Amino acid sequence: MFQINTASNEIVQLIPKRFSDLGFTERGHLQEWIAKMPESLGEELLIIQKEFDGFDETRERLDLLALDKQGDLVVIENKLDDSGRDVVWQALKYASYCSSLSKSQIADIYQAYLDQNREDGNAKDRIVDFLGASDFEEVLMNEGVGQRLIFVAANFRREVTSTVMWLLENQIRLQCFKATPYQQGDQLFLTLDQIIPTPEEAEFRIGISEKKKEQRTAEKSQLHRHQIRMEFWTKTLEAMENANIERFAMVSPSRNHWLSCGSGRSGVIFSLIFSKKEVCVEVYLNNSEATTNKTIFEKLYENREVIEAQFGEKLEWQRLDKKKACRVKFSHPVDGYNEENWDSMIEWLVKYFPKLENAFRPEIQKIKLSK
Protein backbone atom coordinates (compact mmCIF):
# COMPACT_ATOMS: atom_id res chain seq x y z
CA MET A 1 0.00 0.00 0.00
CA PHE A 2 1.26 3.43 -0.93
CA GLN A 3 0.39 6.93 0.20
CA ILE A 4 0.39 9.67 -2.43
CA ASN A 5 2.23 12.88 -1.53
CA THR A 6 0.80 15.46 -3.90
CA ALA A 7 3.20 18.19 -2.69
CA SER A 8 6.31 16.25 -3.70
CA ASN A 9 4.56 14.26 -6.43
CA GLU A 10 5.74 10.93 -5.11
CA ILE A 11 4.38 7.90 -3.31
CA VAL A 12 5.44 6.58 0.05
CA GLN A 13 5.18 2.91 0.88
CA LEU A 14 3.19 2.13 3.98
CA ILE A 15 4.56 -0.65 6.15
CA PRO A 16 2.07 -3.30 7.26
CA LYS A 17 1.67 -3.78 11.00
CA ARG A 18 0.47 -6.52 13.29
CA PHE A 19 -2.95 -5.99 14.86
CA SER A 20 -1.55 -6.92 18.27
CA ASP A 21 1.25 -4.33 17.96
CA LEU A 22 -1.40 -1.65 17.43
CA GLY A 23 -3.44 -2.82 20.40
CA PHE A 24 -6.36 -4.11 18.36
CA THR A 25 -8.38 -7.16 19.44
CA GLU A 26 -10.46 -9.62 17.50
CA ARG A 27 -13.82 -9.01 19.19
CA GLY A 28 -13.38 -5.41 20.25
CA HIS A 29 -12.12 -4.12 16.91
CA LEU A 30 -11.96 -6.34 13.79
CA GLN A 31 -15.34 -7.91 14.50
CA GLU A 32 -16.93 -4.52 15.21
CA TRP A 33 -15.50 -2.95 12.05
CA ILE A 34 -17.00 -5.68 9.87
CA ALA A 35 -20.32 -5.66 11.77
CA LYS A 36 -20.68 -1.92 11.19
CA MET A 37 -19.56 -2.08 7.55
CA PRO A 38 -20.19 -5.59 6.15
CA GLU A 39 -19.88 -4.25 2.60
CA SER A 40 -16.14 -4.12 3.30
CA LEU A 41 -16.28 -7.81 2.37
CA GLY A 42 -17.24 -6.90 -1.19
CA GLU A 43 -21.00 -7.43 -1.13
CA GLU A 44 -24.19 -6.42 0.61
CA LEU A 45 -24.63 -8.46 3.77
CA LEU A 46 -27.14 -8.08 6.57
CA ILE A 47 -25.54 -8.81 9.95
CA ILE A 48 -28.16 -10.58 12.05
CA GLN A 49 -26.15 -11.54 15.16
CA LYS A 50 -22.77 -11.25 16.89
CA GLU A 51 -21.26 -13.90 19.12
CA PHE A 52 -24.13 -16.22 18.22
CA ASP A 53 -24.34 -19.15 20.63
CA GLY A 54 -27.80 -20.52 19.96
CA PHE A 55 -26.64 -24.06 19.34
CA ASP A 56 -28.26 -26.85 21.33
CA GLU A 57 -26.00 -28.62 23.85
CA THR A 58 -22.85 -26.70 22.88
CA ARG A 59 -21.08 -23.66 24.32
CA GLU A 60 -19.61 -22.67 21.00
CA ARG A 61 -20.24 -19.27 19.46
CA LEU A 62 -19.55 -17.92 16.02
CA ASP A 63 -18.25 -14.40 15.48
CA LEU A 64 -20.77 -12.93 13.04
CA LEU A 65 -23.86 -14.36 11.39
CA ALA A 66 -25.23 -12.66 8.28
CA LEU A 67 -27.66 -13.01 5.39
CA ASP A 68 -26.66 -12.46 1.78
CA LYS A 69 -28.90 -11.12 -0.98
CA GLN A 70 -29.94 -14.66 -1.97
CA GLY A 71 -31.25 -15.41 1.52
CA ASP A 72 -28.36 -17.72 2.41
CA LEU A 73 -26.75 -17.65 5.86
CA VAL A 74 -23.14 -16.49 6.03
CA VAL A 75 -20.86 -17.52 8.91
CA ILE A 76 -18.05 -14.98 9.35
CA GLU A 77 -15.04 -16.02 11.45
CA ASN A 78 -12.45 -13.39 12.35
CA LYS A 79 -8.89 -14.01 13.47
CA LEU A 80 -6.22 -11.37 14.00
CA ASP A 81 -2.61 -11.97 13.07
CA ASP A 82 -2.90 -15.72 12.55
CA SER A 83 -5.80 -17.80 11.25
CA GLY A 84 -4.98 -20.68 13.58
CA ARG A 85 -5.17 -24.34 12.60
CA ASP A 86 -8.78 -25.03 13.49
CA VAL A 87 -10.67 -22.12 11.94
CA VAL A 88 -12.03 -24.20 9.05
CA TRP A 89 -13.25 -26.98 11.33
CA GLN A 90 -14.89 -24.46 13.65
CA ALA A 91 -16.68 -22.71 10.82
CA LEU A 92 -17.87 -25.97 9.26
CA LYS A 93 -19.40 -26.93 12.60
CA TYR A 94 -21.13 -23.58 12.86
CA ALA A 95 -22.48 -23.88 9.31
CA SER A 96 -23.83 -27.34 10.06
CA TYR A 97 -25.51 -26.04 13.21
CA CYS A 98 -27.04 -23.13 11.27
CA SER A 99 -28.29 -25.37 8.46
CA SER A 100 -31.30 -26.39 10.56
CA LEU A 101 -32.44 -22.84 11.35
CA SER A 102 -35.93 -22.10 10.06
CA LYS A 103 -37.11 -18.83 8.59
CA SER A 104 -38.92 -17.86 11.78
CA GLN A 105 -35.89 -18.75 13.91
CA ILE A 106 -33.67 -16.54 11.75
CA ALA A 107 -36.11 -13.66 12.18
CA ASP A 108 -36.08 -14.21 15.97
CA ILE A 109 -32.26 -14.22 16.02
CA TYR A 110 -32.16 -10.95 14.10
CA GLN A 111 -34.83 -9.38 16.30
CA ALA A 112 -32.77 -10.26 19.38
CA TYR A 113 -29.76 -8.59 17.73
CA LEU A 114 -31.75 -5.43 17.03
CA ASP A 115 -33.05 -5.35 20.59
CA GLN A 116 -29.59 -5.93 22.08
CA ASN A 117 -28.19 -3.03 20.07
CA ARG A 118 -31.22 -0.82 20.76
CA GLU A 119 -31.99 -0.50 17.10
CA ASP A 120 -35.52 0.35 16.10
CA GLY A 121 -37.40 -1.75 13.60
CA ASN A 122 -39.01 -5.11 13.04
CA ALA A 123 -36.67 -7.93 12.00
CA LYS A 124 -39.11 -9.42 9.49
CA ASP A 125 -39.68 -6.05 7.83
CA ARG A 126 -35.94 -5.41 7.59
CA ILE A 127 -35.33 -8.86 6.08
CA VAL A 128 -38.11 -8.29 3.53
CA ASP A 129 -36.59 -4.93 2.59
CA PHE A 130 -33.06 -6.35 2.35
CA LEU A 131 -34.11 -9.26 0.13
CA GLY A 132 -36.43 -7.12 -2.01
CA ALA A 133 -39.45 -9.31 -1.31
CA SER A 134 -43.08 -8.21 -1.08
CA ASP A 135 -43.76 -9.77 2.31
CA PHE A 136 -42.20 -12.19 4.80
CA GLU A 137 -44.31 -15.12 3.58
CA GLU A 138 -42.65 -14.80 0.17
CA VAL A 139 -39.12 -14.81 1.60
CA LEU A 140 -36.92 -17.87 1.07
CA MET A 141 -34.00 -18.24 3.48
CA ASN A 142 -31.42 -20.85 4.41
CA GLU A 143 -32.53 -23.40 1.83
CA GLY A 144 -30.70 -26.70 1.53
CA VAL A 145 -26.92 -26.55 1.85
CA GLY A 146 -26.54 -22.93 0.76
CA GLN A 147 -24.71 -21.82 3.93
CA ARG A 148 -21.52 -19.85 3.25
CA LEU A 149 -18.27 -19.32 5.16
CA ILE A 150 -16.07 -16.21 5.26
CA PHE A 151 -12.69 -16.16 7.01
CA VAL A 152 -10.91 -12.91 7.87
CA ALA A 153 -7.31 -12.88 9.15
CA ALA A 154 -3.98 -11.15 8.65
CA ASN A 155 -2.29 -14.41 7.71
CA PHE A 156 -3.58 -17.85 6.75
CA ARG A 157 -1.69 -21.01 7.59
CA ARG A 158 -0.87 -23.39 4.79
CA GLU A 159 -3.04 -26.14 6.28
CA VAL A 160 -5.95 -23.71 6.26
CA THR A 161 -5.52 -22.56 2.66
CA SER A 162 -5.03 -26.14 1.48
CA THR A 163 -8.24 -27.25 3.18
CA VAL A 164 -10.12 -24.23 1.86
CA MET A 165 -9.07 -24.97 -1.72
CA TRP A 166 -10.17 -28.60 -1.36
CA LEU A 167 -13.55 -27.53 0.02
CA LEU A 168 -14.01 -25.08 -2.84
CA GLU A 169 -13.41 -27.86 -5.33
CA ASN A 170 -16.13 -29.82 -3.56
CA GLN A 171 -18.70 -27.03 -3.89
CA ILE A 172 -18.47 -25.65 -0.32
CA ARG A 173 -18.97 -21.89 -0.64
CA LEU A 174 -16.30 -19.98 1.23
CA GLN A 175 -13.95 -17.01 0.97
CA CYS A 176 -10.73 -15.89 2.67
CA PHE A 177 -10.00 -12.19 3.21
CA LYS A 178 -6.54 -10.98 4.16
CA ALA A 179 -6.86 -8.10 6.65
CA THR A 180 -3.81 -5.85 6.82
CA PRO A 181 -3.47 -2.79 9.11
CA TYR A 182 -1.09 0.07 8.28
CA GLN A 183 0.16 3.03 10.26
CA GLN A 184 1.56 6.31 9.00
CA GLY A 185 2.17 8.73 11.82
CA ASP A 186 -1.10 9.09 13.68
CA GLN A 187 -3.12 7.74 10.77
CA LEU A 188 -4.27 4.13 10.61
CA PHE A 189 -5.38 2.26 7.51
CA LEU A 190 -6.88 -1.15 6.80
CA THR A 191 -7.12 -3.25 3.65
CA LEU A 192 -9.41 -6.26 3.22
CA ASP A 193 -8.36 -8.25 0.16
CA GLN A 194 -10.08 -11.42 -1.00
CA ILE A 195 -7.33 -13.92 -1.66
CA ILE A 196 -9.31 -17.19 -1.98
CA PRO A 197 -10.92 -17.52 -4.39
CA THR A 198 -9.67 -14.61 -6.47
CA PRO A 199 -12.42 -12.07 -7.30
CA GLU A 200 -12.52 -13.27 -10.91
CA GLU A 201 -12.85 -16.90 -9.87
CA ALA A 202 -15.44 -15.97 -7.26
CA GLU A 203 -17.54 -14.20 -9.90
CA PHE A 204 -17.39 -17.29 -12.10
CA ARG A 205 -18.39 -19.56 -9.20
CA ILE A 206 -21.27 -17.25 -8.30
CA GLY A 207 -22.48 -17.43 -11.88
CA ILE A 208 -22.43 -21.23 -11.79
CA SER A 209 -24.18 -21.22 -8.40
CA GLU A 210 -26.90 -18.88 -9.65
CA LYS A 211 -27.44 -21.07 -12.69
CA LYS A 212 -27.88 -24.15 -10.49
CA LYS A 213 -30.27 -22.25 -8.21
CA GLU A 214 -32.33 -21.17 -11.21
CA GLN A 215 -32.42 -24.76 -12.42
CA ARG A 216 -33.61 -25.97 -9.00
CA THR A 217 -36.29 -23.28 -8.95
CA ALA A 218 -37.40 -24.22 -12.45
CA GLU A 219 -37.54 -27.91 -11.50
CA LYS A 220 -39.69 -27.13 -8.46
CA SER A 221 -41.97 -24.98 -10.59
CA GLN A 222 -42.23 -27.74 -13.18
CA LEU A 223 -43.14 -30.33 -10.55
CA HIS A 224 -45.81 -27.98 -9.21
CA ARG A 225 -47.28 -27.53 -12.70
CA HIS A 226 -47.28 -31.29 -13.26
CA GLN A 227 -49.18 -31.83 -10.04
CA ILE A 228 -51.75 -29.16 -10.92
CA ARG A 229 -52.30 -30.65 -14.38
CA MET A 230 -52.75 -34.18 -13.05
CA GLU A 231 -55.39 -32.94 -10.59
CA PHE A 232 -57.19 -30.84 -13.20
CA TRP A 233 -57.28 -33.58 -15.83
CA THR A 234 -58.50 -36.14 -13.29
CA LYS A 235 -61.49 -33.93 -12.50
CA THR A 236 -62.06 -33.17 -16.20
CA LEU A 237 -62.10 -36.83 -17.22
CA GLU A 238 -64.56 -37.61 -14.45
CA ALA A 239 -66.82 -34.85 -15.75
CA MET A 240 -66.48 -36.15 -19.34
CA GLU A 241 -67.49 -39.63 -18.20
CA ASN A 242 -70.49 -38.27 -16.29
CA ALA A 243 -71.53 -36.36 -19.42
CA ASN A 244 -71.27 -39.57 -21.51
CA ILE A 245 -68.51 -38.14 -23.71
CA GLU A 246 -66.89 -41.36 -24.87
CA ARG A 247 -63.95 -39.91 -26.81
CA PHE A 248 -61.85 -39.69 -23.63
CA ALA A 249 -63.00 -42.95 -22.05
CA MET A 250 -59.62 -44.61 -22.68
CA VAL A 251 -57.52 -41.51 -21.89
CA SER A 252 -55.64 -41.17 -18.58
CA PRO A 253 -54.80 -37.98 -16.65
CA SER A 254 -51.55 -36.41 -17.83
CA ARG A 255 -48.90 -34.02 -16.54
CA ASN A 256 -48.93 -32.36 -19.97
CA HIS A 257 -51.00 -29.26 -20.66
CA TRP A 258 -53.12 -31.15 -23.21
CA LEU A 259 -55.28 -34.25 -23.51
CA SER A 260 -55.89 -35.69 -26.96
CA CYS A 261 -58.08 -38.26 -28.68
CA GLY A 262 -58.46 -39.48 -32.23
CA SER A 263 -60.82 -37.98 -34.80
CA GLY A 264 -61.15 -41.09 -36.95
CA ARG A 265 -58.51 -39.84 -39.38
CA SER A 266 -54.77 -40.37 -39.06
CA GLY A 267 -52.83 -37.27 -38.04
CA VAL A 268 -55.95 -35.29 -37.12
CA ILE A 269 -56.43 -34.97 -33.38
CA PHE A 270 -59.04 -33.46 -31.08
CA SER A 271 -57.46 -31.86 -28.01
CA LEU A 272 -58.32 -30.20 -24.73
CA ILE A 273 -55.83 -27.54 -23.62
CA PHE A 274 -55.26 -26.36 -20.03
CA SER A 275 -52.83 -23.53 -19.26
CA LYS A 276 -52.33 -20.81 -16.71
CA LYS A 277 -54.09 -18.27 -18.93
CA GLU A 278 -56.80 -20.24 -20.75
CA VAL A 279 -58.59 -23.45 -21.60
CA CYS A 280 -59.16 -24.48 -25.22
CA VAL A 281 -60.71 -27.07 -27.45
CA GLU A 282 -58.89 -27.58 -30.73
CA VAL A 283 -58.35 -29.62 -33.85
CA TYR A 284 -54.65 -30.31 -34.31
CA LEU A 285 -53.26 -31.45 -37.67
CA ASN A 286 -50.03 -33.33 -37.06
CA ASN A 287 -49.24 -35.65 -39.95
CA SER A 288 -45.58 -36.40 -40.62
CA GLU A 289 -45.68 -34.32 -43.81
CA ALA A 290 -46.27 -30.57 -43.56
CA THR A 291 -47.88 -30.50 -47.02
CA THR A 292 -50.53 -33.00 -45.87
CA ASN A 293 -51.41 -30.83 -42.87
CA LYS A 294 -51.60 -27.67 -44.97
CA THR A 295 -53.84 -29.38 -47.54
CA ILE A 296 -56.27 -30.66 -44.89
CA PHE A 297 -56.27 -27.25 -43.22
CA GLU A 298 -57.10 -25.49 -46.50
CA LYS A 299 -59.96 -27.89 -47.29
CA LEU A 300 -61.42 -27.35 -43.83
CA TYR A 301 -60.94 -23.60 -44.14
CA GLU A 302 -62.89 -23.58 -47.41
CA ASN A 303 -65.86 -24.88 -45.40
CA ARG A 304 -65.29 -22.67 -42.35
CA GLU A 305 -68.70 -21.00 -42.61
CA VAL A 306 -70.46 -24.36 -42.43
CA ILE A 307 -68.19 -25.54 -39.61
CA GLU A 308 -68.58 -22.36 -37.54
CA ALA A 309 -72.36 -22.35 -38.08
CA GLN A 310 -72.49 -25.91 -36.72
CA PHE A 311 -70.11 -25.05 -33.84
CA GLY A 312 -72.01 -21.87 -33.01
CA GLU A 313 -68.95 -19.64 -32.49
CA LYS A 314 -66.15 -18.02 -34.49
CA LEU A 315 -63.02 -20.18 -34.48
CA GLU A 316 -59.35 -19.25 -34.57
CA TRP A 317 -57.76 -20.71 -37.71
CA GLN A 318 -53.98 -21.08 -37.42
CA ARG A 319 -52.21 -22.36 -40.55
CA LEU A 320 -48.81 -21.95 -38.83
CA ASP A 321 -46.90 -21.44 -42.07
CA LYS A 322 -43.48 -21.75 -40.44
CA LYS A 323 -44.35 -25.02 -38.71
CA LYS A 324 -45.26 -28.50 -39.81
CA ALA A 325 -48.57 -28.65 -37.91
CA CYS A 326 -51.79 -26.60 -38.16
CA ARG A 327 -54.58 -26.02 -35.69
CA VAL A 328 -58.08 -24.66 -35.30
CA LYS A 329 -59.04 -23.64 -31.78
CA PHE A 330 -61.65 -22.06 -29.58
CA SER A 331 -60.39 -20.67 -26.28
CA HIS A 332 -61.65 -19.26 -23.01
CA PRO A 333 -59.36 -16.82 -21.13
CA VAL A 334 -59.20 -17.64 -17.41
CA ASP A 335 -56.81 -17.85 -14.46
CA GLY A 336 -56.26 -21.55 -14.95
CA TYR A 337 -54.12 -22.25 -11.88
CA ASN A 338 -56.74 -20.81 -9.52
CA GLU A 339 -58.64 -23.91 -8.37
CA GLU A 340 -61.70 -21.82 -7.62
CA ASN A 341 -62.14 -21.52 -11.41
CA TRP A 342 -61.82 -25.22 -12.16
CA ASP A 343 -65.50 -26.12 -11.97
CA SER A 344 -66.47 -23.46 -14.51
CA MET A 345 -63.50 -24.35 -16.72
CA ILE A 346 -64.40 -28.02 -16.76
CA GLU A 347 -68.03 -27.15 -17.42
CA TRP A 348 -66.82 -25.08 -20.39
CA LEU A 349 -64.77 -27.97 -21.79
CA VAL A 350 -67.66 -30.41 -21.37
CA LYS A 351 -69.91 -27.97 -23.24
CA TYR A 352 -67.65 -27.12 -26.16
CA PHE A 353 -65.81 -30.36 -26.89
CA PRO A 354 -68.90 -32.15 -28.27
CA LYS A 355 -69.67 -29.05 -30.33
CA LEU A 356 -66.14 -29.15 -31.77
CA GLU A 357 -66.35 -32.84 -32.61
CA ASN A 358 -69.80 -32.55 -34.18
CA ALA A 359 -68.74 -29.56 -36.29
CA PHE A 360 -65.48 -31.02 -37.60
CA ARG A 361 -65.84 -34.77 -37.79
CA PRO A 362 -68.17 -34.88 -40.84
CA GLU A 363 -65.99 -32.39 -42.72
CA ILE A 364 -62.80 -34.27 -41.83
CA GLN A 365 -64.25 -37.52 -43.19
CA LYS A 366 -65.19 -35.85 -46.51
CA ILE A 367 -61.61 -34.82 -47.29
CA LYS A 368 -59.99 -36.79 -50.10
CA LEU A 369 -56.25 -36.48 -50.58
CA SER A 370 -54.70 -37.13 -53.99
CA LYS A 371 -51.95 -39.73 -53.99
Three-class secondary structure of residue 341 per DSSP: helix
What's the pLDDT tens digit per position in 56-66? Answer: 667 788 999 99
Residues 313 and 306: beta-carbon distance below 8 Å: no
What's residue 208's pLDDT? 52
What's the pLDDT tens digit per position in 294-307? Answer: 999 999 999 999 99
Q: How confident is the model at residue 313 (pLDDT cuts 50, 70, 90)?
A: very high
Residues 71-89, mean pLDDT to the nearest whole number: 94
* Residues with Cβ within 8 Å of residue 364, at least 6 apart in sequence: 263, 264, 265, 268, 283, 296, 300
In CATH, the number for domain 219-366 is: 3.30.1460
Residues 259 and 280: beta-carbon distance below 8 Å: no
Q: Which of 257, 291, 272, 270 is nearest to 360 (CA)?
A: 270
What's the pLDDT tens digit per position in 219-249? Answer: 555 677 889 999 999 999 999 999 999 999 9
Q: Which of 6, 195, 172, 7 is nearest to 83 (CA)?
A: 195
Say how far apart CA 151 and CA 172 lie, in whole Å: 13
DSSP string, 138-173: G---S-TT--EEEEEES---HHHHHHHHHHHHTT--
Residues 41 and 192: beta-carbon distance below 8 Å: yes
| CATH 3.40.1350.10 in the chain, residue ranges | 2-197
What's residue 364's pLDDT? 95
Does 205 have pLDDT greater than 80? Answer: no
Using a 10 angstrom Cβ sphere, with 0-12 exposed, 13-18 middle and 19 or more buried, the burial of residue 277 is exposed
Q: How confident is the model at residue 210 (pLDDT cuts 50, 70, 90)?
A: low
Does 216 have pLDDT greater than 90? Answer: no
Average pLDDT of the residues of the chain: 90
Three-class secondary structure of residue 57 per DSSP: coil
- Cis, peptide link before residue 38, omega less than 30° from 0: no
What's residue 209's pLDDT? 56
What's the pLDDT tens digit per position in 99-155? Answer: 999 999 999 999 999 999 999 889 999 999 999 888 898 888 998 888 999 999 999
Q: What percent of the chain has pLDDT over 90?
A: 75
What's residue 169's pLDDT? 85
DSSP element (H, E) containing 75: strand 73-78
Q: How confident is the model at residue 371 (pLDDT cuts 50, 70, 90)?
A: low
Using a 10 angstrom Cβ sphere, with 0-12 exposed, 13-18 middle and 19 or more buried, the burial of residue 55 is middle
Residues 154 and 179: beta-carbon distance below 8 Å: yes
Say how far apart CA 128 and CA 137 lie, in whole Å: 9
Using a 10 angstrom Cβ sphere, with 0-12 exposed, 13-18 middle and 19 or more buried, the burial of residue 274 is buried
Does 213 have pLDDT greater than 80? Answer: no
What's residue 212's pLDDT? 56
What's residue 221's pLDDT? 56
List Cβ<8 Å contacts ≥24 apart for 367-370: 367/265, 367/296, 367/299, 367/300, 369/292, 369/295, 369/296
Does 97 have pLDDT greater than 70? Answer: yes
* Residues with Cβ within 8 Å of residue 193, at least 6 apart in sequence: 177, 178, 180
In CATH, the number for domain 2-197 is: 3.40.1350.10
Tell me the chain's radius of gyration from C-alpha atoms: 33
Three-class secondary structure of residue 350 per DSSP: helix
In 290-342, which ranges are E strands?
A: 316-318, 326-333
| CATH 3.30.1460 in the chain, residue ranges | 219-366
Does 180 have pLDDT greater than 80? Answer: yes
Does 5 have pLDDT greater than 80? Answer: yes
What's the pLDDT tens digit per position in 235-285? Answer: 999 999 999 999 999 999 999 999 999 998 999 999 999 998 999 999 999
